[in-house]
Structure 1
């Protein structure tokens, strides 16, 4: 998924895996990936990937990319790679490079969990390839916070009600930034522009003259950056759950908050028609009950039976957010809310929140939160605290359940040790092959208007839409979306611009 809110970063990897209902099943213990070979370590485009078996029919490798493309001899990142080879090697088209979102989502884990959910034509004609972008997963990851520090960060009230609570949130945000400054030396180099350049190195290393790509959520922002830098190298590009690259950091946050509000209303309208709905008999009543619940949890955190954490309003709101990404999780959300509202038991909501932020049962975290903040904070200019407060007030009016929570989530970027002055701009990818942009009408994390905007910015953009709920569209199983996307990826022929699938 895409978010400059580290509290909401992980859902796309979790939910795409859930939506695919797919696992490798026959995984064997993974072997170490063999490093890429290059005659000249600084000539990254000349490297050859050495693949080795890593269980479940998958193969793994690594690739080298410069830390700083303006100084190629100043060191390298080692990128972790995985692929599921095409089943019909005789008619193989090439590699399908993928990215599941974030920033901070592991492309390696995405391919391992979801590659077999791609259409049969894709599975037979392409090696499906995933990679952990620089700073993510196993690719020289950014690591800032201890598990205890992340627990405290996520428990901090992200919808403060008074100046004292604002000061507490400011302190937590400053601590996050200061910790990363002290522990990570690669912060200036983990931004999306560099990660997109890495994709072209991977294209060459994979042996493809032109790139075929599927990017979901933040993966569309990464893809758009690639398209702007290397439009001539595009064969077929799918950008699913699009991000609007021309919006500022705070504009992005406000729009995302509105997206979550739209998704919550859709859930509420569905919930009140179900006999097990704990929220009342009308949509308005249901939304009011969620508001009351959030206020009550703010005053009196819930207990849980998993560990000694208190389920604060922030933890509970993250637990509500995760099921909005995948409609098949709505029954789980009804059950979790019922337990929380009726029994003051936040166990299920906390479990959902832990999935969102990739917190394991033993209390450890993946690096997605640190990587998410590190990438987003260097991608766009960050305003001051006063501007954030204005954006919070705007978001609260349009998204009362998520507005402050989402917008305040980007506050560590105000204090980030590395800042950019490059302003966001439209992406045109002039001279590229047709690029397919997919939007879902009630997507919580990447609002539909972003897909409309990106498709219109691209010189050769084509918009494909799903009248549905949930985050991203391709792996939801809608035959209209699947057939149109697979046909485009295999033939290069996009669907008619403006096609709507139901």
Structure 2
């Protein structure tokens, strides 16, 4: 019987950069647009959301009057939403009530032709719109957005400072798109693209587009790792990697040295100290002030625009059909792409799933609780681990409580001439250490030993794991990170519900520990940071569930604290031709960690409608925990 294990590998810079920095869960908020089982869409009546998108003016720019045109009639197709149509034709998603009011007779007539239980207690089925209905768009309408254009270019000399260049098997270019599609005459930005050539002499016509996580990670950096993993995803298909807007080699890169500096200092302070939270918000404000002062429309860096970029890329490259792979936040992006721009999508693969219709901030501690339970149960099931740590859960809870009262300061020796690093471990840091252990692939098997060592006063193993979960300076495209998380999630989150959900999931942990969120450093205080970032909130339609019959493979690690299996299960409810596989003992980003997962993915791409081989998953077991 073949067993896959997580081994502590050599940790070259490329793999460490990629895994630690992209794995932040990109979260989106619950809103008020839902889809019908038959492909119809609805928009719940109500006022336009507060804090809707605002645009930072360009420096030295003069005000422009948008060019207007007569509005067309739109015939509804499956997947349409009123907010989406309002954005397309009227220039703002929050103008959807104008379309609804102008078409009430047609909408009521269509509703009567689709019998079913009323929704929200209205006689037109809760403002559902049905395929085939002709909608009059009230005018006038802004001029259409300029089409996106793709231009080949030399691949960048390096993906990031200190990281090698892409090899000759890649071709590169830039996609030019509007920064804000609601402003057709506004500024444009460039999206960096790298295409990995298929190994086969006659590749299949349907490439894979790779959507990385974060939000804010670099897809081109992922490309360097993917080329070394077997089975090769590019065996007979090209693979297209994208640096999403505001990230990597795309222009502009919205990075924040201010936040990078704070996250490095934060590990030297007590995490739950209110002063630490204030310092983090000050760093976010300083970066926001600098970026907006340069004319960037920070509210335009969100999943709605991001998904439109990806859809435009397929058209600009002349691709009839492609397969979409997303990991972590990339699954959120993939699901919104499938929902809002389904054209040309042959299949989807969702790895470490983020479901856009859930309030994910409220679910972070629930995911952590699931992870704790899975790890503790797996340790109890292994004789060596059970003998070494006979009551791991109780030891964990007691140590979290003790460290919450009396934090421990640990000195981590530097490697390769680097200076020593001080890490302060309080109760939150221990609770969060288990969660971030799902990011570097070597760390999960060390979790029980690290907890036991901390209980005995030795914090060095835990401190090493905490540092391994940090993103390298200069990596994260913070403009996209905050644009997505603040506009699509934090803006729709009630702090009281957040705290109640945390307490219900982990009643044995101190309230002060649960006052922060489990994730990498820049997620823990996201509500305070988002107040400083101040980009309003997205149209509630971003949280509409994705309903599709496109073949979809969902993959989760059973020890994935950042994403968890619940979100994948929730996402699958709307995907009628989907299958969810859980890989025992694996953490975040299953594709990276398992050659079985890669083999299943390649087989799925060949036969997405059925008959792909998943047999290797039946042989997998949780790898042994270290007890030395």
Q: Does 1:305 align with 2:310?
A: no
Farther off after superposition, 52-61 or 246-255: 52-61
CA gap 1:79/1:271 in 2 versus in 1, 3 angstroms: farther
Structure 2 SS opposite 1:220? helix
Report the aligned-residue RMSD. Answer: 3.8
Task: Encode CA deviations 1:235-265: one digit per residue, 9 max, x unaligned.
Answer: 1211112112111243233433334433542
Distance 2:562 2:423 in 1: 26
Aligned to 1:178: 285
Which residues of 2 match residues 84-95 of structure 1 at below 5 A?
84-95=196-207
Q: CA deviation at 1:184?
A: 2.2
Task: Encode CA deviations 1:250-292: one digit per residue, 9 max, x unaligned.
Answer: 3233433334433542565478724995xx3333344346535
Which residues of 2 match residues 213-228 of structure 1 at below 5 A?
213-228=324-339
Distance 1:495 1:440 in 2: 23
Farther off after superposition, 68-77 or 190-199: 68-77
Which residue among 235, 239, 242 is the counterpart of 1:131? 242
Aligned to 1:96: 208
Task: Encode CA deviations 1:301-334: one digit per residue, 9 max, x unaligned.
Answer: 2223333534343666555433334664334556
Q: CA deviation at 1:420?
A: 1.1
Aligned to 1:427: 545
Aligned to 1:284: 393
CA gap 1:115/1:143 in 2 versus in 1, 3 angstroms: same
Task: Encode CA deviations 1:334-360: one digit per residue, 9 max, x unaligned.
Answer: 6656765657453x544433332223x
Q: Does 1:355 align with 2:468?
A: yes
Which residue among 430, 440, 458 is the counterpart of 2:557? 440
Q: Give TM-score scaled by structure 2 length.
A: 0.63
Aligned to 2:167: 56
8 Å CA contact 1:119, 1:482 repeated in 2: yes
Aligned to 2:526: 410
Q: CA deviation at 1:416?
A: 3.5
Task: Encode CA deviations 1:171-230: one digit per residue, 9 max, x unaligned.
Answer: 235324422431223320111111111111222233311221111121110100100111
Which residues of 2 match residues 68-79 of structure 1 at below 5 A?
68-79=180-191
CA gap 1:343/1:388 in 2 versus in 1, 3 angstroms: closer
CA gap 1:241/1:316 in 2 versus in 1, 3 angstroms: same
CA gap 1:464/1:268 in 2 versus in 1, 3 angstroms: closer
Distance 1:48 1:112 in 2: 22
CA gap 1:265/1:80 in 2 versus in 1, 3 angstroms: farther
Q: CA deviation at 1:97?
A: 1.1
CA gap 1:476/1:177 in 2 versus in 1, 3 angstroms: closer
Structure 2 SS opposite 1:302? strand
Distance 1:383 1:17 in 2: 23
Aligned to 1:198: 309
Structure 1 SS opposite 2:325? strand
- Between Structure 1 and Structure 2, whose CA radius of gyration is higher? 2
Task: Encode CA deviations 1:94-124: one digit per residue, 9 max, x unaligned.
Answer: 431112312122111111112332534x322
Q: Which has the higher helix share?
A: 1
Distance 2:306 2:349 in 1: 17
Distance 2:248 2:334 in 1: 19
Q: Does 1:375 align with 2:484?
A: yes
In structure 2, the gaps of 5 or more residues are 1-14, 24-144, 157-164, 415-419, 519-523, 621-628
Structure 1 SS opposite 2:384? coil
Q: CA deviation at 1:157?
A: 3.9
Distance 1:337 1:322 in 2: 14
Structure 2 SS opposite 1:148? helix
In structure 1, the gaps of 5 or more residues are 1-9, 19-41
8 Å CA contact 2:440, 2:468 repeated in 1: no
Aligned to 1:35: none
Structure 1 SS opposite 2:343? helix
Q: Give TM-score scaled by structure 1 length.
A: 0.77
Which residues of 2 match residues 487-498 of structure 1 at below 5 A?
487-494=603-610
Farther off after superposition, 250-259 or 217-226: 250-259
Q: CA deviation at 1:451?
A: 1.1
8 Å CA contact 1:263, 1:324 repeated in 2: no
Distance 1:46 1:491 in 2: 32
Structure 2 SS opposite 1:129? strand
